[in-house]
Amino acid sequence: MATYIEICRKQLVQLFNELKIATNSFESIWILVSTLTLVTGVTAGVSVIVWLERKVSAGVQQRVGPEYAGPLGITQSLVDGIKLLLKEDVIPSKGDAWLFTIGPAVAVTPVLISYLVIPFDQAIVLSDLAIGVFSWVAVSSVAPLGLLIAGYASNNKYSFLGGLRAAAQSISYEIPLALCISSASLRSDSLSTVDIVKAQSKYGFMGWNLWRQPIGFIAFFISSLAECERLPFDLPEAEEELVAGYQTEYSGIKFGLSYVGSHSNLLASSLFVTISYLGGWDSPIPFFKNLGQDSSFSDSGGESFDVLGPGVGIITTLSKSYLFIFISILTRWTLPRVRTDQLLDLGWKFLLPIASGNLLPTASFQLLLIS
């Protein structure tokens, strides 16, 4: 099935041919438009996360939170972004200026690339790769390298310790994350993110991997929080121990880039939890699930349902993702920060055996089905 993005691309190619514009020019314009759309969408998603985190945190502490910048303080993230853009960009005098500059970019770029394989609906995905879930695991493992570079280039012991902690934490939780993804992929007989959601939607709400892989879901949830460096696993930037970790020497737009990278990684992880375990765009409500697919809706409603169907899918996907984010925000104000040794013990001594033990029976069951 052709995606909406592919259909739009073909229509634009035909338009460029009619206007006698070179194909090379179209490819450049298409790449630019796709990149801008991706960055704009991620930035909007991060703004919502920041606003939601401030409001939920204020509610937990019986405060009001942002209220002056727009209705309910919803434009506070935009105001803060403009403030960071206008601030001076300071580089440590004894630090490595070149590495100090590229560190945040190296941390953010892999996160943005991971959005290429995320399907927001059956026909809305930038790149439906055959190894979509493992491409995310592979690309996201590069992000801590940027944090390590940023910590090293700052010429600050707290920044360097934060970078080392980020690298150790990523290595510890990358393996359980990959094993949990493997279990979900085996249940779906595919590594494609689109196929994984389709396999879950065949049997409705009870066909979600949340019910078929409950142990894998819990391990994936904990590993995702650790990968995103969220409390209680925010050791790389523990304020009480390392000032601000690898971000200590950063200011202005570079600090903002690191901040966006952290929250966009949380959004990507929540989307992959939704895709792998919560059925993606598949709605648990039958009416919304069949919307845009039943011929009776198409006959009576016309072309409007061609837009409404994918719209419902996008809303369903984002609703599940922000539910995961809401839980992670509550976790921040519920659990205390763990020590470094406890963090590594949890990853290597508990989550790794649990994820391995979950993968083996899953693989055995799939082999029995094939035989």
Whether the CB-CB separation of 97 and 66 falls below 8 Å is answered with: no
Q: What is the pLDDT of residue 306?
A: 53
Does 6 fall in a domain? no
- Structural domain total, the chain: 1
Q: How many Å from the N-terminal Cα to the C-terminal Cα in the chain?
A: 30
Q: What is the pLDDT of residue 297?
A: 43
Q: What is the pLDDT along the chain (371 residues), one digit of tens a residue?
A: 455 566 666 666 666 666 655 556 656 776 777 778 888 888 888 889 999 988 998 988 888 888 888 888 888 888 888 888 888 888 888 888 888 889 888 888 988 889 988 988 887 888 888 888 888 888 888 888 888 888 888 888 888 888 888 888 888 898 999 999 999 999 888 888 989 998 888 887 888 999 989 999 999 999 999 888 887 888 877 766 777 778 888 888 888 888 888 889 999 999 999 999 998 888 877 666 666 554 444 444 444 445 566 778 888 899 999 999 999 998 888 888 888 888 889 999 999 999 999 999 988 888 887 77
Query: What single string gives the DSSP state of each residue in 291-330?
Result: TTTSHHHHHHHTTHHHHHHHHHHHHHHHHHHHHHHHHHHH
Does 117 fall in a domain? yes
Does 10 fall in a domain? no
Selection from 232, 224, 269 nearest residue 343 by Cα: 232
- Count Cβ atoms within 10 A of the Cβ of residue 96 and give its class: 0-12 exposed, 13-18 middle, 19 or more buried: middle
Does 142 fall in a domain? yes
Does 31 fall in a domain? no
Q: What's the rounded Cα separation, in Å, for the pair 59 and 8?
A: 43
Does 16 fall in a domain? no
Does 45 fall in a domain? no
Whether the CB-CB separation of 207 and 200 falls below 8 Å is answered with: yes
Query: What single string gives the DSSP state of each residue in 258-298?
Result: HHHHHHHHHHHHHHHHHHHHS-TT--SSHHHHHTTTSHHHH
Q: What is the pLDDT of residue 8?
A: 65
Q: What is the pLDDT of residue 334?
A: 86
Q: What is the pLDDT of residue 176?
A: 92
Q: What's the rounded Cα separation, in Å, for the pair 273 and 221?
A: 7
204, amino acid identity:
G
Q: What is the pLDDT of residue 16?
A: 60
Q: What's the rounded Cα separation, in Å, for the pair 2 and 221?
A: 32
Does 168 fall in a domain? yes
3-state secondary structure of 145: helix
Containing structural domain, residue 335: 87-370
* Tokens at 62, concatenated: 């019986």
Q: What is the pLDDT of residue 33?
A: 76
